[in-house]
Amino acid sequence: MIDVSTVSEVGRAAVPANVDRATYLSHLLSLRSPLTDAFSWLQAVRDRAAIRIPELAIPSTRDEEWRFTDLSSLLAIELQAITSQPAAIAQSDIESFQLPEASTRLVFVDGVYVPELSAIADLPKTVFVGDLAAATAAGLTDPMLAHLATQPGAEETFTTLNTASFTHAAVIAVPKNQTVTTPIHLLFVSTHGQGAALNHPRCLVMVESNSNVTLIEDYVATSDSAYFTNAVTEIWLAPNAQVQHTRVQRDSLAAFHIGKTAVTQARDARYTGNAISLGAAVARHHLEVYQTGEQTETTLNGLSYLKGHQVADTHSLISYTQPHGTSHQVHKCIVDDRAHAIFNGKIFVPQLAQLTDARQLSQNLLLSDKARVDTKPQLEITADNVKCAHGATVSQLENDEIFYLQSRGIDQAQAVKLLTYAFAYEVIAQIPIASLRENLLQRIA
Amino acid sequence: MINENSKVILSVQDLTADVDGTQILKGLNLEVKAGEIHAIMGPNGSGKSTFSKILAGHPDYTVTGGEIAYLGQNLLELEAEDRARSGIFLAFQYPIEIPGVSNTDFLRIAYNSKRKYAGLEELDAFDFDDLVQEKLEVVKMNPAFLSRSVNEGFSGGEKKRNEILQMALLEPRLAILDETDSGLDIDALRIVAGGVNQLTTPDNAIVLITHYQRLLDYIIPDYVHVMEGGRIVTTGGKELALELEARGYDWIREEETEVAV
């Protein structure tokens, strides 16, 4: 089934006349801190990205890819220069975010790695998990240089800004034939700090042949203040490697969150990505999967749960280049009040990618009359022997469903909660960490 | 069981109702007393399911005239959830699925809503578990169904058994079973009917809505009503169901026409 999707025209928000989007981007670059001598190996990567910034600008709703996601309000925020001194927070401040299942945890506070809050345990000796400094000390500069900012989507504006700016990173390197049995928790905490912070979290995950790792990339806040998180995560799967990746964005409701997940799968590699978006005033997630070998398996589960005036935009891309690939993507949005969810799901299946089996489903639940969803499947298929299916539904809770619960003595408000929970459950149930599932479901029910 | 002196549970007088501006019920009268089992039969579109949903308070139906008294109280003043809490139970023809919500949790929430309404203390998970284990017997249900999501992946028969399990827990004064027998094989029908029979007491009443006389071999009705064109046109004993099974509904229409002439 291949449908042609149409998306209705909408009014374009006006750009504030006094802020130039190119100037503002250059200003964001100027807020970075210099690399220390220990990271001189990274200077060339940084320079290559920085040199492109003057050619770029913060996207506006005139850009097709950003037509529904207006960043004008970001331009009005005065962001602080990036600090190397994180706010002092104690273990007790982040206790509620810790996952008992994950004995290895890297904690970054306002973008800065904090070893005192982190823990590394229960890992096979040959597996590396640590921050950029530890990775440098462990002699991983060559593989890092080979993998940082080398995937196709690295040219995108915000990814370029991150590459040109980041000074801290989480690095995971799993050698061949290793199964990491305990999940790894990458926790990015934003605090109140001194004014609005600008963070460029970076994660680099390199998994060699036949290895298997589970990770949770988690963005949380200890206050409800405004800040801008511009995150980039790069995941590389060598042949027959397997990664279970859960990304949770539970930033403050005043925050801006722009995130990139870029995944490259070599032949026979299996990637599962669960992306949950709950926080931020404006959130954007670029989820890109590049296939470099045949017979890859990709599973993407997404959930955005929005209230108030929140905006959450997911742009996904699955780019096939080889035969026998399969992908199964479900993206759900629950939208209440005057919130706005956007989903754009690209799947490219060129001539070489014969026998691809790609399925995509976008399901949306509107909980109020003012809530809005824009969903656009975008399949470009030139191979002639493939199975590609997509579907999109936008619905409200059915009177019959609510009535069923009422007829059992459950009042309407609780009935709506139970049914909303049921809608979200299908996605959250895919998360392989029980405590995180519970935590997220409690937030919805 | 008919007992002239028993309490009137439901009294429906000259009920008319619309859905989306189309009149479905056109002057329905029915009186149900404690201890009685009533069967309502009739062709498709005669208004049987509409009547059951109106009793339970479905918001899509508008009552345009007439009265419904439940235990002497004006039923139409109560919200759907309060009708349930005060003892009205509708077993659905198509029970809905609720992924992620375990059957136990659902049953406990429903049970405690009723207790709270009655001013009783809510049961905790442990006490409730004891109670529900006991009720499972009524419908011969495997305890494994308690930890599964509500109706998700249940077969038709399992869904209907789950409805009767809810009935067993909620102990209604008035139970309306909307085509609970549809789509059941004979074994499942026996179990469901057996469950309903166990739940019948001199204090409660049951209204069965069905297409098939077969159900009435297992649950013996005191009255059989035939609905046609939005009202009850004939009432008889259990033998009326056999006649309907043998002759269909056309003869009733003809008799009616003759009477009208």
Quick: pLDDT tens for A212-229. 999 999 999 999 999 999
Over residues A399-426, the pLDDT tens digits come to 899 999 999 999 999 999 999 999 999 9
CA distance B189 to B179: 11
Distance, in angstroms, between A444 CA and closest chain B CA?
12
What's the structural domain count of chain A? 2
Q: Please say if the pLDDT value at position A164 is more than 50.
A: yes
pLDDT band of B255, cuts 50, 70, 90: confident
- A129 beta partners: A172
From B81, B92, B98, residue closest to A411, measured CB to CB: B81
A35-89 pLDDT tens trace: 999 999 999 999 999 999 999 999 999 999 999 999 999 998 888 888 778 788 8
The yes-or-no verdict on residue A13 having pLDDT over 60 is no
CA distance A224 to A250: 11
| Cβ under 8 Å to A: B residues 97-116 | 98-101, 106, 109-110, 113-114
Partner-chain contact B58 A424, CB within 8 Å? no
pLDDT above 50 (res A12): no
CB spacing of A406 vs B57 below 8 angstroms: yes
Q: What is the pLDDT of residues B179-197, one digit of tens each?
A: 999 889 999 999 999 999 9
Chain A CA closest to residue B112: A409
pLDDT bucket at B124, cuts 50 / 70 / 90: very high
Average pLDDT over residues A343-348: 97
Q: What is the pLDDT of residue A15?
A: 41
Do A386 and A404 have their domain in common? no
Which tops the pLDDT comparison, A10 or B78?
B78
Same domain? For A362 and A420 the reply is no
Distances (CA, A) of B101 to A363, A414, A421, A429: 19, 13, 8, 12
Q: What are phi and psi of B3, to 5 degrees?
A: -140, 110
Q: Can you give the residue range of the structural domain that contains A406?
A: 399-445
| Residue A406 and residue A376 share a domain | no
Together in a domain, A132 and A171: yes
Task: Tell me, yes or no, whether A60 and A160 share the same domain.
Answer: yes
- A412 part of contact set with chain B, CB < 8 Å: yes
Cα–Cα nearest to B107, from B172, B169, B161 = B169
Domain assignment present for residue A260? The answer is yes
Residues 183-242 of A with CB under 8 A from B: none
Residue B104 to residue B148: CA distance in whole angstroms:
8
**Choice between A193 and B18, residue whose per-residue pLDDT is larger:** B18
Which pLDDT band holds residue A2 (cuts at 50, 70, 90)?
Answer: very low
pLDDT band at A193 (very low <50, low <70, confident <90, very high): confident
The answer to whether position B63 is within a domain reads yes
Q: b/e per residue, B236-252, with b = 16+ CB within 10 A?
A: eebebbebbeeeebeeb
Q: Write the DSSP string, B161-230.
A: HHHHHHHHHH--SEEEEESTTTT--HHHHHHHHHHHHHT--TT-EEEEE-S-TTHHHHS--SEEEEEETT
Taking a C-beta distance cutoff of 8 angstroms, is the pair B159, B184 a contact?
A: no
B47 part of a folded domain: yes
The pLDDT of residue A153 = 93
Contacts with B220 (C-beta within 8 Å, 6 or more apart), sequence order: B37, B238
Strand order in the sheet with A104-109: A112-113, A104-109, A184-190, A212-221, A242-250, A270-277, A297-306, A326-335, A357-366, A387-396
B207 in Cβ contact with B34 (< 8 Å): no
Mean pLDDT of A94-116: 95
Q: Are residues A96 and A141 in the same domain?
A: yes
B154 part of a folded domain: no
Q: Supply the range of the domain harboring residue B227.
A: 8-96+172-260
Q: Average pLDDT of A312-330?
A: 98
- In whole angstroms, give the CA distance from residue A137 to residue A146: 17
Tokens coding A304: 């955005």
**Half-sphere exposure (Cβ direction) of A128: Cα atoms closer than 13 Å:** 24
In the structure, what pLDDT confidence band is assigned to residue B247 with cuts at 50, 70 and 90? confident
Task: Confirm or reject contact between B120 and chain A (CB < 8 A).
Answer: no
Does residue A157 sit in the same domain as residue A283? yes
pLDDT at B259: 62
Q: Are residues A438 and A323 in the same domain?
A: no
Contacts of residue B53 in chain A, CB cutoff 8 Å?
403
Region of poorest pLDDT, from A6-20, A157-171, A419-433, B145-159: A6-20
Does some domain include residue B20? yes
Cβ neighbours of A422 in B, within 8 Å = 98-101, 149
Same domain, residue pair A276 and A384: yes
Residue A303 at interface with chain B, using a CB cutoff of 8 Å: no
Strands A128-131 and A198-199: unpaired
CATH number of the domain encompassing residue B43: 3.40.50.300
What is the pLDDT at residue A350?
A: 97
ipTM of the complex: 0.94
Q: What is the pTM of this model?
A: 0.86
Residue B98 to chain A, least CA–CA distance (Å) = 6
pLDDT category at A18 given cuts 50, 70, 90 is: low
Q: Which residue from A403, A409, A419 is facing B58, i.e. has the nearest CB? A: A403
**Element spanning A377, H or E:** strand A372-381
Q: What is the gyration radius of the CA atoms in chain A, in angstroms?
A: 21
Nearest Cβ partner for B110 among A399, A410, A441: A410
Percent of chain A with pLDDT over 70: 96
Q: How confident is the model at residue A277 (pLDDT cuts 50, 70, 90)?
A: very high
Q: What does each C-alpha distance from A232 to A149, A243, A260, A429 come to in angstroms?
A: 9, 17, 5, 25
**B89:A407 CB<8 A:** yes
Per the structure, the count of domains in chain B is 1
Q: How large is the C-alpha radius of gyration of chain B? A: 18
Q: Are residues A270 and A415 in the same domain?
A: no
- Cross-chain residue pair B85–A425, CB shorter than 8 Å: no
Domain membership flag for residue B129: no
Interface of B with A in 184-243 (CB under 8 A): none
Contact B89, B46 (CB under 8 A): no
A8 part of a folded domain: no
Determine, yes or no, domain membership for B137: no
In a domain, A78, yes or no: yes
Q: Are residues A168 and A252 in the same domain?
A: yes
- Is the pLDDT confidence value at A14 over 60? no
CA distance B28 to B231: 4
pLDDT at B260: 58
- On whether both A43 and A181 belong to a single domain, the answer is yes
Beta strands in A52-158 (DSSP E): 104-109, 112-113, 128-131
